[in-house]
Amino acid sequence: MTGRTTRSSKTKTQQPSIISQLRRSSVPSLSVAQEEELDKIRPKGMASGEDFTSVLNKIYEKLDGLSKQVTEQSTKIDQNTASINNLSQQVNLNTQSIGKLLEDTASNRKIAEEAKEKVEAVQEEIKPMRKQIGEHQALLSMIELKNKENNLRIRAVPELEKENLIEYLTQEFAEFWSLEEDKAFKIVSAFRLGKGGRKIKSRDCLISLRTKEERDKILSVHFQKTLEIKDSRVEIYKDIPKHLLELRTNYGDLVALLRSSKIVFRWEFPQGLSFTFKGKKVRIRLVEDKEKILSDYGEDLQKGD
């Protein structure tokens, strides 16, 4: 038959696909007898032998289309495989990074624990030093308290313009408590605490008397009859050093309980307090003592028994 191609076993070039070979081949010529035989089996609508060539061309086109689709799908599969390999490599790198971070975290935790142990060891070493410092501070505060024993801190005294505080307070004390100046008391010095200027609240006053007995006299009459100046209820306190006042904050919960139960107490120096409970004198000198009292008698104190 004409148009048939032959293959050479010696050629090393890429062989054409079957579809390409079929496309290049031509449909052979038929004899009259063969045409008659084909007419018997030819489907309706095929009028001549050329119809077979047309059908074959369509088949070749469909085969080419399928071949292209297969090639495209194969290319996509290759691309997806490459992507999966890349992701696998990235996962491996991330896993290695996470492992390194875990190692670093464990190392840092160990360093932190060692540092904590060293800090605790140092704290244990300086405990005696802290105790000594606290004792020295208390001693200095007691010396300061001794130097201030003639002083009184007075709160809520209305401020006057260009006031002479000594004359102002001397007159108020003498008139309100019917005290005779110079005999009952004498204010040696007096001044306002803090900066001046327009303020909503009056600044505290600090006064010094001649003796501790005069100071106690003012505190006693004030306890019996609270001083009032221009309709303002005045508060009067001893002049206590700042460090001792800070120590008193450790007893705030007990003080609140005693006040709510209307139990009279007094402060001890340099710290602590004392009061009478169930006919027994209770004296507290350390925070640990306060905790024990609250544990043993807290409920009774709340009831006021």
CA angle 153, 246, 234 (to 5 degrees): 25
Same fold, 149-239 and 243-303: no
Cβ neighbours for 25, distance < 8 A, ≥ 6 positions apart:
3, 4, 5
Of 187, 169, 182, the C-alpha closest to 227 is 169
Taking the C-alpha atoms of residue 246 and residue 43, their distance in angstroms, rounded to an integer, is 115
pLDDT of residue 255: 94
> Which tokens belong to 84?
């999966």
Specify the CATH class of 149-239 in words. alpha beta
Which residue has 């019917």 as its token pair? 178
The CATH H-level superfamily of 243-303 is L1 transposable element, C-terminal domain (3.30.250.20)
pLDDT of residue 62: 81
**Across-strand partners of 273?**
267, 284
pLDDT of residue 106: 87
Domain ranges of the chain: 149-239, 243-303
Please enumerate, as own/partner, the contacts of 134-143 that have beta carbons within 8 Å and a separation of 24 or more: 137/243, 138/243, 138/244, 138/247, 138/270, 138/271, 140/243, 141/241, 141/243, 141/244, 141/270, 142/269, 142/270
Q: pLDDT of the chain along its 305 residues, tens only?
A: 444 444 444 444 445 555 555 555 544 555 667 666 656 655 555 555 445 667 667 777 888 888 888 888 888 888 888 889 888 888 888 888 898 888 888 888 889 988 888 888 888 888 888 888 888 898 999 999 999 999 999 999 999 988 999 999 999 999 999 998 888 899 999 999 988 766 678 999 999 999 999 999 999 999 999 999 999 999 999 999 999 999 999 999 999 999 998 999 999 999 999 999 888 999 999 999 999 999 988 888 877 65
Question: Which class for 216: exposed (0-12), middle (13-18), buried (19 or more C-beta within 10 A)?
Answer: middle
Q: How many residues does the chain have?
A: 305
pLDDT of residue 189: 97
